[in-house]
Every structure is written in structure tokens, then in C-alpha cells.
Structure 1
């Protein structure tokens, strides 16, 4: 089995993504109820008992809602950095000591032939991270909840064959929306979320000849639409001279209410040295 993944759910109502190869089946976040996560797994031909570990990005409720219940029900280890563990404590209930695993920001771990590497991002959480996954010469990157894309984040994402990447909101829809100004200011700030245009500009700096597909993720149900997100991202890229029709790069959808089809990552890239 090659490296493959499915985004079970993406958006402000809950986030979870499954990454799988022949050696491991891992889930990023569990931001829906345990019952709903199990339902989505079943839709993709999996059961909760097949999950070997849950990788936590940060402690916001749309990423951890079902985390504790899912870990207890299926006896699944949880991986998070120390500051995130501290922030999780009061939200997820009792977790068996053997299932409380500290994975430092910047650390890489091997699950058989599947290598997982975390890296820091900008968001209003204790110590938020995104993740890279490697198998042989393939690379998958999953990065959402980004206030902005720093040079270091760009470097981490480059050479990914496939990315799940935030395109959260349309700026004008957000400005005209019903949210109070303090929340709008948070979303628009460096510790908030990427707009469609920001996502397009960042992709111009990140995408390489190895990049084949980008799944636009964590779309706001209040302040975005999938067709608008794709159009705006593509427009921002074209303004920078990056024309998708002239490349092999495709923009793909994610959903808040259903999983994406399984996607296999097969293109060539490099594998980094294991972190100390």
C-alpha cells in the first residue's frame, strides 16, 4: 500500500484527516464527536480500532472535540507537544498515561516506513503545528490554521507532492459578515486564518515541479464558498504569473460534511534525515 490520505472533515465545524500506508494509519485531529468520527471512518472503509495514533495540531475545539472520547474508546495514543498537552488537559478528560505521548515541535518520528515531522505555524494557540508525511520519495503536507506563511513554513512545505492547505475566507465576505469586529480582526491577523488571496500568493512561493495537487481546506461556512475559493486562489496565482493550465498542479475540494476520496501520493521527492 502506497502513502494515501482522506480528509474526513474540514472547516470550523470540525477537522480530521487520515494518513495511511502499509505500516500505519494515523489521524490528524479529532474535531468532531467520537460518534461522527467513527461514521466518517466507516464511510472510508476503516474502523476506529485501525487508528494507530492521533496527531494534534492545536487545542481549539474544532480540532479536539472528540479527541479524548475517541482515544479512550479505541485505546489510541495521542501525540502533541508539551504546551498543547497543557492546554488540552481540561478539555479531553482522563487519558491513559501510555497514550499521552509528547512529540516536540520539529521532531520527526518513524511509524515503520511512514515518517512524520511536525513544524511550528502561526495561530492563536499554545504551540500550533502542521505536519509533513514521508514514505520513500513521496511527501504529503497538511497545514491549516495559518495566520500567515512565514519563510520557515514555506521551506517546510516545498517539494510536497500533495498538500492540504488552508484557504479559509474571502476578505470582503468576512468584513461584511455578522461577526463582531474583534473576531474579524483575529481572523484577519497574523495569528488567525489565511484568506483565499493569501493562500494563492503563498502557493506561488511554495509550489515546485513536484507539487501535483493542493486541497483547499478549512473553508469558512460563513465567509467562503468552494468555487469562490478556487477562483480566488487561481486568480491570485495568475496575478503573480503562475498559470495552473501551464502546470500539472490541480486545486481540489474538501468538505465539512463528507470525506474526500482516498488520494494516493506517488510522485518523487526526497526524504529528510530523522530529527535528533
Structure 2
């Protein structure tokens, strides 16, 4: 599933082609995505200039004078810039043509993503209850420490809660907890302020590195120019269950938490 770095990589890839361009055509080939694509989407976008391409959590936001298109890539979606006559494929469900002739093509084999339209994004239910962005200044050790007091939930689940902080998906939670030396099952309320500060710093560092390298290579993910990301080459624990820890040599343990693969070092993380 595309995580925050993949979505940010997509945003950075499409933004230069979109901002300032007018939408000349919107074609919805299959409206049956996670939620039905509303008729207001095409009506709101057509003949309108794209003012900005932004990201909130894992949502892409295409801003127009008339409203905002909310796009989620779902489990297997990708949004690509098409500059030639490549024909649409079976799973290309939404296409947006711009005044430059460039097209944005949304591909989603599992149809678990979404294209929605809102005139008031600040009050849309998908966006209103989200926590801070992990790369924002307000996300730090003090914030995590205060929010975690008296919580018995495992710290990995706490870190992946979008009400706590957005966009720290499974891969990056595994990596950040390893770097901070924190056991993923440790109760969130039993972690010190200093350890949370280290964790917040490693979350920022890990996500920033992944964005710089183009996201993590997942079998279903391609970014806006059709090329895979390369951050998977840098993973220290995720996908390495049973292999030696790169810090101490102890075999990494792989377990399931909330139906997600969790890998950690039983010696380095406590």
C-alpha cells in the first residue's frame, strides 16, 4: 500500500505538470471505487485552473477556485503523468486532461482508492480528525509523551494511529522503532520523554530519506513517471525477519500485530 513517502513522491512528480494548468476534460471510466466517484467531480474540475497540488496525510488535494478534489491511492493505485498516446488500460479508471495536453491517469486494480469532491476541504470528514504531519515542527517528543500518558496500547499501534500522527505506515513504523531502540509491543504510556524524542527524530529522518529516494518499492506502486522507488534498498528490519540484525547480529523476529507484519530485534529494542 502506498505510504506517505510514495504519496509525497507522487505529489512532487505531478505538481510541476498541473499547477496553473486548466482542466479541459475529466473522464471517469469506472466510478465504482472505494466510494462512488461523484458527478460533481467532473463538473467542479472542468474548465477550472489547478491552483495547487498538496498532500494531507496520504490524501492528494487538487485545489481549484470552485473546490478541491480529494484523491487517495488506496491499496494499489498510482497517478501518472501521460505525455504520449499510450492508450488507457483496463484498470485506468480516471483521466484528467490539462490545457498543456498532458493527462493525469489514475490506475487502481483493486479499486480501493477514491476520487471525491468537496467545496470545503477544511471540514471534510476524511480530513478533520487527522493528527499532525510527521515532518511538521509540532510533531516531536513532547507531543508524543503528553498524548501517550496512561495509554496501554502498544507503541507501534499508537504511532500508526492517524489521530496521533498521520502517514506513519507499517514499513516506516518498523524502521523508526528499530532506530529508536523501542520494542513495538511496549505500552505507549511506559515510554519516557527522551525516548519519544528519539523516536520522533527517527520518524522524521526515515520519512525524509524515503521521500528523497522516491518512496519504498512495493509490487503495486509506481510513481508519476512510471519508475519504482528505491528506499527498499535501505530497510533495516522490514522484510528481513530471521536475518541478522545489522547492529548486533541477533536474528530479527517477525510477528503479527493488528494483522500487520512487525519485525524487530529482541536485543536492541526494549
**What's the TM-score once normalised by structure 2's chain length?**
0.29
Instruction: Specify the structure having the higher radius of gyration (Cα).
Output: 2
**What's the TM-score once normalised by structure 1's chain length?**
0.29
